[in-house]
Structure 1
């Protein structure tokens, strides 16, 4: 996840400045700037942020993640992304269901156009044909129902999983997007509780 420290380091490298250059301009030690960049010191005083921004020829808003990075080429198909934070609530299985983790982990930055209530980190490979891979972040819009064939986060008893959902009068079928996983069928005989947590509306992963 992008942080103020990472933005500081990227801007410093792009401007071909050393830790000593920034430390001297701000009036702190080299070690302090290094701790800012590494995230060891996360609560950076506002006056230091202003000094660092001036030394790097960027705005304080850029360092804080509020503004578009500088020096982006001006082409008609390049546009800035306004971002927001979405709570990351734990892991979800893309494979066999795993025990639910309801603890709050952190926040994930995403574009304002993603209308998600929370997100989960994927664990497993059952959704790879939907381009959702192990370690990806899936953004969920909280809702109790989905249309047949939509991908949803589903709670089955004390476990959670990410699958395509098909609901009939007598059972629920969860289908993977990987042929090595067979569909899972649930009804009153093999499931005490079944609940749709929400619809998967977007995902975030690395380009490899």
Structure 2
């Protein structure tokens, strides 16, 4: 099993927190002022400045535009060292619904695009989904986690994948029993799902590569 779990780098959050606080004070803005400009809640700005959260790509664009600075400046220390160069990022879709027709997979509902390091997505096609529920908690996949997946139609025995199950995206560990796909949860409260059940239509969408969560 090769998937990697990622905690958003606390160093990056700390640098961004200091920079956004300094920029706000230089412009004599309150947290409420900045929240209104960006269209976010005051608590969100507060969390940024406490290094608790990291902004989405669209907000980074707004910050860059409002303060008239390069996006990379938001992630640079005073000495100019960049920890998150935006030129080294790819915009990866966060998908809420996927359909499959005649063998073609289509992203029907894209919630947003997430700025993602190119080193994470250097080979192949990638997409994100949000984890829902508690069926994979023993693999440290919790409700609301952001999951990065590489698009592929098959995975190795026991790997975790995004699967289209009766037109719904689910995250499961995939096993094969005599050519039949069997989907296992990482929670004993959930029973295995068998691909030979007439009620179940199963298609593998992609292999889990990273789990992104806040601490």
TM-score range, shorter chain: 0.5 to 0.7
2:22 is aligned to 14
Q: 2:146 aligns with which of 129, 134, 137?
A: 137
Residues 15 and 88 from structure 1, CA distance in 2 versus in 1: closer, same or farther, beyond 3 angstroms?
A: closer
Higher strand share: 2
1:37 is aligned to 38
> 2 CA distance for matches of 1:162 and 1:9?
33
> 2 CA distance for matches of 1:135 and 1:72?
34
Paired residue total? 170
Residues 16 and 126 from structure 1, CA distance in 2 versus in 1: closer, same or farther, beyond 3 angstroms?
A: same
Structure 1-normalised TM-score? 0.64
Where does the alignment leave 5 or more consecutive residues of structure 1 unmatched?
A: 1-6, 23-29, 54-59, 93-100
Query: Structure 1 residue 36: deviation in Å?
Result: 2.9
> 2 CA distance for matches of 1:170 and 1:35?
55
SS in 1 for 2:119: coil
Where does the alignment leave 5 or more consecutive residues of structure 2 unmatched?
A: 1-14, 42-58, 99-106
Q: 1:84 aligns with which of 74, 83, 90?
A: 90
Deviations along 1:40-82, one digit per CA (max 9) or x if unpaired, are 9x786x9x64xx34xxxxxx213xxx4561327899xx96564
Within-5 A mapping of 1:167-206: 167-187=176-196, 189-191=198-200, 193-206=201-214
Q: Work out whether residues 128 and 149 of structure 2, in 8 Å CA contact, stay in contact via their aligned partners in 1.
A: yes
Q: 2:110 aligns with which of 104, 111, 122?
A: 104
Query: Structure 1 residue 152: deviation in Å?
Result: 0.6
Q: Work out whether residues 174 and 185 of structure 1, in 8 Å CA contact, stay in contact via their aligned partners in 2.
A: yes
Higher helix share: 2
Using CA pairs under 8 Å that are at least 6 residues apart, name the structure with larger relative contact order, 1 or 2.
2
How much is the aligned-residue C-alpha RMSD, in angstroms? Answer: 4.0
> 1 CA distance for matches of 2:74 and 2:23?
17
Structure 2-normalised TM-score? 0.63
Q: Work out whether residues 12 and 18 of structure 1, in 8 Å CA contact, stay in contact via their aligned partners in 2.
A: no
